Structure 1
Amino acid sequence: MRQINALTLAIVLVTLPLFGAKSSVHASDHGAVLAVLTVSGLISPRAEADRDAEEVDFSIEDLEKLPQTELRTHTDWTEGLQIFSGVLLKDLIEAVGASGKEIVARALNDYAANIPVSDAYELSVLIAIKHNGQYMRIRDKGPLWIIYPSAQTSSSKVNPYNDRMVWQLSRLEFR
């Protein structure tokens, strides 16, 4: 079984660059785990093991250990009401002891958006792990997608926060 896990990890690490992914690996109780999100900048992690870290890596498993929230909303990239689940940005901020006024959210393809930290508290911004109950693949805007709730009752109007809804999210830097 251990050989299969090692082989699977090796295949993932070799093929991720083909999709433009930057990855790192960290240890868990179950062996090596692929980190999908790196948080850096003005942080002071709460976990004793990470206290002196300049950045903290999160796997999907790590993110799922944080409080989970479900958001039903419309987006300009999907049809009809969608269900997203994941971690509220404000809960991640608390988990890493982040400070600052701005977050630079970066995607796997290096697209970057500046997000005011105040959005996390005023707008209940979600870091989505699942879309309609399914983990998101890279080709489906995953594995993480920043979702802003839409005030619209349908997807017929453009969401003013579209430029901040980074899909294929890979990095958050607090400034």
Structure 2
Amino acid sequence: MKFTEQEIQGVFVIEPQKFGDARGYFMETYRKEIFDRYVGEINFVQDNQSHSTYGVLRGLHYQKGNYSQAKLVRVLNGRVLDVAVDLRKTSPTFGKYVMVELSEENNKQLFIPRGFAHGFLVLSDTATFAYKVDNVYAPDQEATLMYDDPSVGIKWPLAAEKLLLSAKDLNGKYLADADCFE
């Protein structure tokens, strides 16, 4: 596996090695000892999966305070544009974001540490998205950062009228009013 730290400290693109032949392929997508060596010790406690159609934008979600989650995300089928926004107030990259295309073709994964808002936009007809988290979901601690916050300036490749968003995602907070991390 290849680990590449991104412009924001602690965020990594992980590229598994894929072995294929006429029968199909095999790849190791996670091995704790290797992951811990590059990223640090993380104890994943829950796996999640979603399936979405073209134009669905899920996010930018995060859990507040002690309920924050580190995530290891990947796409099982389809293609998404994955985004992580730094919400750590003391970070030199506070309010900045990382954007990475994840797909079944490139097999890239993205590790997002605690203290980030996360979301993705589906670019293919459908996409199945899977991720590990290091803290269980606490619905009463969930928060949403506005996907179109001008102070963050995410450059989504689809026009706003083509995005499919939930009511929750349409009613997120802007960075200035968000519950950020110390």
TM-score by length of 2: 0.27
RCO higher in structure (CA 8 A, sep ≥6): 2
Between Structure 1 and Structure 2, the one with more helix by share is 1
Task: From the two aligned structures, give the one with the greater strand fraction.
Answer: 2
